[in-house]
Amino acid sequence: MLNNSEILQIIEKGENSSVEFKTADVRPESLAREIVGFANSQGGIILLGVDDSGNIIGNDSTKNYDVWISNISRYNVVPPIHRVYYETKLSETSIGIIEVPKGFDKPYQTSDGKFLVRVNSTLRSASQGELLRLFQQSGVFHYDLTGVSNSSISELNIFQIDKYFAKYDIKLSNESPNEQINILKNADILTQTGEMTVAGALIFGINPPKHLAQSGISLARFANNDLSSELLDKKEIEGTLDVVIDTCTSLILNFIPTPSDIIDNKRVDLNKTWSKKALREVIANACIHRNYSIVGSKIRVFMFPDRIEVISPGRLPNTVTIEKLKVGVSYSVNPVISKFMENMGYIDKLGRGIPMVYNESKKIGKTLELKEIGEEFKVTLEL
């Protein structure tokens, strides 16, 4: 709960992406729209009894706002959402505070079927791409199963597929063309119409960037500790996911300084730093769990003298929080990609990766920061 001092500071700053003012005579439909917009975004608070200019108008002392808002949250918001409501007095004037959480059952809509998102201090209907991402976060829709337009089996690396299926005693290259297609469809490498799936292209494609320009990693190394400093090196890392992960991990290891000295005729590292296993885990998570439906942005790895930042497009799924990640809650934005990469030894799907990196951070005395920023997820590793 916010105290009066915090509420006054919020009113002074005005409406923004997480704050909305409403007077007591607001219509139920209008309040429902604001609740939906916050729930589909990052959550926020609605101050009831404050006008758009920040003037404290107050509420009707005879009205039970808690019950009224409960009914709106239950009947005017689909699916119903739990919210927190409480009241306080500012200069003897009563106002209400509605705390709307980031929704766990996205996408939310109004009772008349409108999917809304909060952008700065305004509401608007979700675009097709935003709605797609909201359904992905709910687990209803998985983009890695969609087909890659104008692609075909001819763009798959059959040698790599043979290598993958060897453990199952399947050799695709020995099968008839029709049987090859059937196997690849059943494995979710091809769609039922014969196109590569996004997962198939990323893991077994001959040239993934041809169709998926958003795949791969942009790696940049800077002279000082901010983005405005001199750019020392920049590389575009492309290829199948295993190649991208291994290449990026190796480049990071080459760039990380490891001061050492000769002690008793033996070279000894003087500075504890991140292990290859931890670095590969962070890069693999970014590649496997990013949102590939966000087509205008690659994964970005920024290396500064004091830290490494790994920024991947896409938010966490609905029920996952950063605190849950630290204790091993696993999630799968891209279940087909996750299945293949687990079988290839890049993840174990038990949620042990982030806890392992977190525990290593404590052992070596370095900070690990996980942060969700808008439509991106950032991992920062202190050097």
Most confident residue range from 133-142, 143-152, 178-187, 238-247:
238-247
pLDDT band at 286 (very low <50, low <70, confident <90, very high): very high
Spatial CA neighbour of 135 closest among 107, 102, 110 = 107
Q: Domain locations in the chain?
A: 4-126, 143-210, 217-382
Rounded to a whole number of angstroms, the CA Rg of the chain reads: 25
- H-type helices in the chain, by residue range? 4-13, 28-40, 65-75, 128-138, 158-165, 177-186, 198-204, 208-211, 241-255, 276-289, 322-326, 335-343, 353-364
Distance CA 301, CA 184 (A): 33
How much is the pLDDT for 140? 66
Question: What is the fold of 4-126?
Answer: 3.30.950
For the segment 27-36, the average pLDDT, to the nearest whole number, is 96
How much is the pLDDT for 332? 76
How much is the pLDDT for 30? 95
How much is the pLDDT for 18? 93
For the segment 197-222, the average pLDDT, to the nearest whole number, is 96
How much is the pLDDT for 170? 84
For the segment 182-198, the average pLDDT, to the nearest whole number, is 94
Distance CA 33, CA 127 (A): 16
Among 185-189, 193-197, 345-349, the minimum mean pLDDT is found in: 345-349
Mean pLDDT, all residues of the chain:
90
How much is the pLDDT for 259? 58
Which region holds residue 294: left if phi is over 0, alpha if psi is between -120 and 50, else beta?
A: beta
How much is the pLDDT for 204? 97
Which CATH number applies to 217-382: 3.90.79.10, 3.30.70.580, 2.90.10.10, 3.30.565.60? 3.30.565.60
How much is the pLDDT for 324? 81
How much is the pLDDT for 108? 92
Give the tens place of pLDDT for each residue, 51-81. Answer: 999 999 999 888 999 999 999 999 999 999 9
pLDDT at 91 over 90: no
Give the tens place of pLDDT for each residue, 298-353. Answer: 999 999 999 999 999 988 876 678 888 887 776 778 989 999 999 998 887 666 78
Spatial CA neighbour of 383 closest among 305, 313, 309, 321 = 305
Per-residue CA distances from 369 to 214, 283, 309, 320 (Å): 25, 14, 9, 16
pLDDT at 49 over 60: yes
How much is the pLDDT for 267? 61
How much is the pLDDT for 127? 85
Is this structure's pTM higher than 0.75? no
How much is the pLDDT for 189? 96
Give the tens place of pLDDT for each residue, 100-111. Answer: 998 888 889 999
How much is the pLDDT for 352? 79
How much is the pLDDT for 260? 55
Give the tens place of pLDDT for each residue, 260-278. Answer: 556 666 765 656 889 999 9
How much is the pLDDT for 72? 95
The two three-digit tokens of residue 10, written as one number: 């919020």
